[in-house]
Chain A
Amino acid sequence: MVNPSDIIQAGEHVLIKMPSDNVKCVVLNAGSTISLGKFGSFKANDIIGHAWGNSYEIYDRDNKTRVYHPDDMNEIDETANNNREIVDDGASQKLTSEQIKALKNEGLKGELTGEEIVNKLKESHATFDKKTAYSQAKYLQKKGKKFHKVFTPIKPTTYSLNEYFYIKNPAKIRDIRMDTLSQLLSYSNVHAGAKLLVVDDTQGMVVSALAERMGGKGTILGLYDGDSPHYDIVKYMNFDQETLNSIKTLAWGRIHRPVGEKTPDELQDVTQLTGKDLEGYHRRLKAYNIVEESRKILFEGDFDGLIIASQYQPESILEKLLQYVRGSRPVVVYHTYKEALLETSTWMRKSPDLLAPQITESWLRKSQVLPGRTHPEMSTWGTGGSLLTATKVIDFPVQAALTKRERLAIEKKNAEAKKLKRAREESEASGSEAVEATTTTADTTTSTTTTTSTEEESKEDDERSSKRVKQE
């Protein structure tokens, strides 16, 4: 019943939460020693094979580890003590800093446990008893963190990796924060078996999140520019082979076969090849087949969603890829800067292929929860990026059950409107002011007012499509 993904495996990437609460990313090679800097080190084999979820304490000279059970967070009684008499000039601690350093060294060497050190500090603290229960607890917690060498292996998941990179190097993942990414996943309606078209410049953060939600069932086709896809984060996810196989890639430059490009078989006669040449041929053939497969996936279309988290102008991508997406499927665009999505949203409003574009931003606040001392954290997250979402719709309005006369009347009306419009365009082109009009309208909301089903709008839509046809 034990699922291998519930167990810490040799060779995997692991996030290690250190006593300082900093998180470090390591590869857990069997037999290796993992250094935690000033907190010492531990042996990979001591945690390999264990279930995820426990914390460990490094407790002796040989860097032995054992499972650590944090003390219960007991309700802190407000005692009569207060902090009035406490002068924090360092003088209340009777141990000298040399002595403390020595204790710490003993700890690092494994001669004293963290608990023993903290007890010593507490005993030689002149005013410890006078502290409030709260600050006593805080003191012990602070010292405990410093002297207990406790670490926690964290399984890399969409959430934990996103948090890790968001804190460590937000630029790497284009500032996409856990809440924004979670909304991207919802808006994408990603699920096992989906076929998704993705343009991901977040080092694979978005692709990883989508792949995790598909569990190896379905297909992700990622378009990339440059020499190779930069999906660095995928490798941290410890995906199984099935999931890795569900991620296909295609270079923008290879969507269409360059004119004159020859297949490996057209280039070389395989029957004449031996040794190195034959190996080279097989390498080329494999690469060629991968590209051919990705092209086929793209050109077959019928994608269940288009997800873009790119540095490039979203409209330029939408113009190329929207045609491959099925009706009633989500289009989700992520960008670090909301402003970069404004033009795209306007573009979407005008596109007959997209319904109800909407720009959202997310707000996330974390709180400290300590019994009796719960409050929002003092520093909070700024940007988490912005999402623009819409639904792909089908551009050929079907007019339901019209009598012949009704249909003719509508067609006549449309033709007249078109004629009028053409006349306007012509007069405009010639610079004459024959047609007086302004573009100012009372209603300016684009995100909440959506398509209302009025005659005017449908006319407008017809014009949009006719415009489109003309452009093509």
Chain B
Amino acid sequence: MSVVQQSFATYKENNTIEDGDLVVVYLARENMSIIRIKDGEYFNCKFGSYKHSDMIGLEYGTKLGSNTGRGFLYLLYPTPELWTQVLPHRTQILYIADISFVMNFLNLKPGMSMIESGTGSGSFSHSIARTIAPTGHLYTFEYHQERVNAAKKEFEEHGLSHMVTLQCRDVCKDGFNMENKVDAVFLDLPAPWEAVASAKKAFKQDKIGKICTFSPCIEQISRTVTALSDNGFVDIQMYECLIRFNEIRVIPMWTIEEAMEKQRAIEKKRKRALPRVLREPAAAADEQEEEEAKKIKIESADDSNVSSAIGTPSSTTGSEMDEGVQVKSETATPSVPSTPILSSETASPSTSSDPRERIDPKNVMVTRLPVEQRGHTSYLLFATFTPATQPPNLTQQNAAKKA
């Protein structure tokens, strides 16, 4: 075991994986898992088997090949952001868009103390703890005993328990039982309005405080707005925040002249092909070719702009299919090529070596949003707790008079 307990709130001084440490194993963005290193154990996945002992002593971020030599993975340091992606879901959880916006609006920073309820799966708790560490404190409330137990264990294992107080409590029925203690409150509960009055008491009474409630339905928001204004909260504001993850593609764009050249070439070929080959297969082949001519060829962004990409093993995928048209990103010329070459078999040797006679379309880099994406998470309702008003003290009054 390492001497100092690893914590999600900070990095390790030596950035080295030691026995007993947590590591996020990255196979792909959608394929990550968190493991605790134990000498003698293995991490198995479909690309191979990895000995924990081989990970010990490596720096976080290292790329590790499997014992078969066929696959590899990355060994990442566990952060709250990664935790949100790998944690076991016991409830619905908050994701990075809402987590980030709420923390920013609530002005979280080191040293703040805060209430959160319910703890749920602890997704948000980890980000809060990291942000208010090392001197801040998180009071988190959850009324479901098993979730409390699971979260408690995680906070301990993640080096956060010294700054997180977790209580099993129905905050709507029994309140937070806290007074004059916190700078911010976050409520992710089915009925947040029932906890507003108690939250008010928990705020440090002589300073400004911020509250956020998180509800998927507008009816919940209405009731919470009423509760907030009844309890004297001001500056009530509501937001929604979503993240758009873009995919990058490189698409070739032929001019209409190029497309017509291609069409003419296909027709020429058809005339030549007909007498020789049986009618049916030829038609099928033509169809396929026409299909290809119309299809916008998409080049992997991975390979674009690498002059040596042509012919690398990774770029040969589907090359048989696409032989008809050469897509060469680095030689895109604006001029219209004269006679396009369709495939090496149909081209005469003299033309095939003439680069001007290829279709070199202009490649355009574009982005695209996934067809399906998140359209709504929840409404974020914010309000301000105003401090008890104090009369300006005497010296200030005097100073004001003099001025």
Contacts and interface: CB of A to CB of B under 8 A. Distances in A.
Interface in B91-127: 96-97, 99-101, 103-105, 107, 109-111, 127
Interface residues of B, number: 132
A452 B240 CA distance: 34
B335 interface: no
Contacts of B133: 191-192
Interface string A399-419: 111100011011000000100
B243 interface: yes
B245 A448 contact: yes
Contacts of B50: 400
Contacts of A51: 206-208, 387, 390
Given A54-B386, A328-B75, A345 B248 contact: yes
A444 B206 contact: no
B141 interface: no
A253 to B, nearest CB: 30
A34 B103 CA distance: 32
Interface string B50-77: 1100100011111111111111111111
B47 interface: yes
Contacts of B9: 191
A252 interface: no
A288 interface: no
B242 interface: yes
Contacts of A398: 54, 58, 62-65
Contacts of B239: 364-367
Nearest to A387: B243
B61 A191 contact: no
Nearest to A305: B11
Contacts of B260: none
B318 A440 contact: yes
Interface in B229-247: 229-230, 234, 236-247
B362 to A, nearest CB: 15
Nearest 3 interchain pairs by C-beta: A327-B61, A53-B208, A215-B110
Interface of B: 9-11, 15, 26-30, 47, 50-51, 54, 58-77, 79-81, 96-97, 99-101, 103-105, 107, 109-111, 127, 130-131, 133-135, 206-209, 218, 221-222, 225-226, 229-230, 234, 236-250, 297-306, 308-319, 322-323, 325-329, 344, 352-353, 355, 365, 367, 370, 379, 381, 384-387, 389-390, 392-393, 396, 399-400, 402-403
Given A30-B399, A371-B229, A436-B344, 16 more contacts: A31-B399, A53-B209, A192-B134, A194-B11, A215-B135, A328-B60, A359-B248, A361-B246, A362-B243, A393-B62, A398-B64, A437-B315, A438-B323, A438-B327, A448-B245, A460-B312
26 contacts: A6-B207, A32-B403, A183-B243, A187-B96, A191-B131, A212-B109, A326-B60, A328-B77, A350-B306, A367-B238, A394-B62, A397-B72, A424-B311, A431-B355, A437-B311, A438-B319, A439-B309, A440-B318, A441-B299, A445-B249, A447-B247, A448-B247, A448-B370, A458-B71, A460-B314, A463-B312
